[in-house]
C-alpha cells in the first residue's frame, strides 16, 4: 500500500513535469511551419508519430525532424520558409507518405494547402512601400495575383509616382514561404506565420453594410438616404478643386469614389 502510494507520487511527479513541458511544446514557434495538410497544431501533436516519412518523400529535402534542443515538439516535421520554402508539388508526396493522417490525406490540391499565411510585417523597410519596384514576393508567388496582388496607391512622398503595394489574400495564400525566401532584404519584410498568429477576426455580430446590401439585392434602409453636404453658405464642393464659390452643391452620386486621394495628386503638394 505504502509502496504503491510512493510509486504513484514519484511517477506522478515525473508525469506532471512532462505534462507541463508538453503544454509548453504545444506552441509552435512562428518561424517553424508544418508540411502541407497538417492538422491544427494541437491535433497534429497527437496524430504525428514522428516517423519522418514526409521528410523522406519530400523531393526537395525541405523538411526536418525537430531535435530536443529545438523549440518545435521533438521529432515532429517542420520547415523554415526563409531557409527552404515549400515547392508545392502537384502530387504532394509528403501528405501521401504520412501513415497516420497527421497530414490530412483529403488535401489533394496543393493550392488549397494552408501551411501558414504570408504577412507583410515591415511596411517601413519593404522596398515596394518605399516606392521601388522590387515586386519579388509578387513574382515568385506560385499563386501569383491571387495570393499576392500589387495594389496601386499614390506615392505621397513624390506626389507623382505610384506605390505598388503587395497585398496578401488569405483565401489563396498557401503559406509556402516563397515570398519570404525571395525577399531581398537581409531580414525579410514579408514573413509566413502560422495562420492563427497572422489573422485577426471580426466580431461575430459585425455586418458589412455593402455585403448585406448585395445579399439582399438592394438597400436595407428604404428609402436610401440622400447624402447631404453641410457647406458654408455661398460655397460648393467640387471634386479635384475643393471649395469653390457658387450656388448649390452638385447632387450626390451614390457610390461616388472618395475625392481626397485625387486631390492630393499633382503639383499642389
Which residues here bind another protein, judged by CB under 8 A? 3, 7-8, 10-12, 14-15, 18-19, 21-23, 25-26, 42-43, 45-53, 55-57, 64-65, 67-70, 73-75, 97-102, 105
Give the CB-side neighbour count of residue 58, counting CA atoms within 13 A: 21
As measured in angstroms, the least distance from the Cβ of 37 to another protein is 12
Bridge-based pairing of strands 242-245 and 190-193 is unpaired
Distance between CA 234 and CA 201 in Å, rounded?
A: 46
Minimum distance of another protein from residue 263's CB (angstroms): 57
* List of residues 6+ apart from 163 with CB closer than 8 A: 128, 129, 131, 152, 153, 154, 155
Phi, psi of 124 (to 5 degrees): -85, -30
Return the number of the residue (19 or 242) whose C-beta is nearest another protein: 19
Q: Report in angstroms how near the CB of residue 59 gets to another protein at its nearest.
A: 13
Phi, psi of 193 (to 5 degrees): -115, 155
> Helices marked H in 87-172 — which ranges?
93-97, 136-140
In whole angstroms, the minimum distance from the beta carbon of 17 to another protein comes to 9
Least separation in angstroms between residue 176's CB and another protein is 23
When the beta carbons of 79 and 164 are compared against another protein, the nearer one is 79
Nearer to another protein, 105 or 153 (CB): 105
| Letter string b/e over residues 91-100, b meaning 16 or more CB atoms within 10 A of that residue's CB | ebebbbbbee
For the bound state, the minimum distance from the C-beta of residue 81 to another protein, rounded and expressed in Å, comes to: 20
Burial class (CB in 10 A: 0-12, 13-18, 19+), 123: exposed
Amino acid at each position: 500500500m505504502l509502496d504503491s502510494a510512493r510509486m504513484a507520487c514519484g511517477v506522478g511527479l515525473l508525469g506532471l513535469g512532462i505534462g507541463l513541458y508538453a503544454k509548453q511544446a504545444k506552441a509552435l514557434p512562428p518561424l517553424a511551419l508544418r508540411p502541407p495538410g497538417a492538422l491544427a497544431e494541437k491535433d497534429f501533436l497527437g496524430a504525428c508519430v514522428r516517423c519522418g516519412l514526409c521528410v523522406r518523400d519530400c523531393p526537395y529535402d525541405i523538411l526536418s525532424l525537430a531535435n530536443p534542443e529545438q523549440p518545435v515538439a521533438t521529432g515532429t516535421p517542420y520547415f523554415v520558409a526563409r531557409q527552404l520554402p515549400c515547392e508545392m508539388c502537384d502530387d504532394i508526396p509528403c501528405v501521401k507518405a504520412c501513415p497516420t493522417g497527421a497530414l490530412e490525406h483529403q488535401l489533394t490540391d496543393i493550392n488549397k494547402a494552408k501551411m501558414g499565411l504570408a504577412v507583410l510585417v515591415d511596411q517601413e523597410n519593404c522596398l515596394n512601400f518605399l516606392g521601388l519596384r522590387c515586386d519579388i514576393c509578387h513574382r515568385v508567388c506560385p499563386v501569383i495575383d491571387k495570393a499576392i496582388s500589387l495594389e496601386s496607391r499614390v506615392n505621397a512622398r513624390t506626389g507623382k509616382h505610384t506605390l505598388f503595394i503587395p497585398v496578401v489574400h488569405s483565401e489563396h495564400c498557401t503559406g509556402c514561404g516563397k515570398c519570404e525566401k525571395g525577399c531581398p532584404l537581409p531580414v525579410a519584410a514579408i514573413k509566413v506565420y502560422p495562420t492563427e498568429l497572422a489573422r485577426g477576426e471580426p466580431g461575430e455580430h459585425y455586418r458589412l453594410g455593402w455585403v448585406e446590401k448585395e445579399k439582399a439585392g438592394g438597400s436595407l434602409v428604404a428609402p436610401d438616404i440622400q447624402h447631404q453636404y453641410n457647406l458654408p453658405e455661398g460655397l460648393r464642393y467640387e471634386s479635384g478643386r475643393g471649395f469653390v464659390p457658387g450656388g448649390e452643391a452638385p447632387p450626390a452620386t451614390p457610390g461616388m469614389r472618395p475625392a481626397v486621394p485625387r486631390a492630393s495628386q499633382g503639383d499642389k503638394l
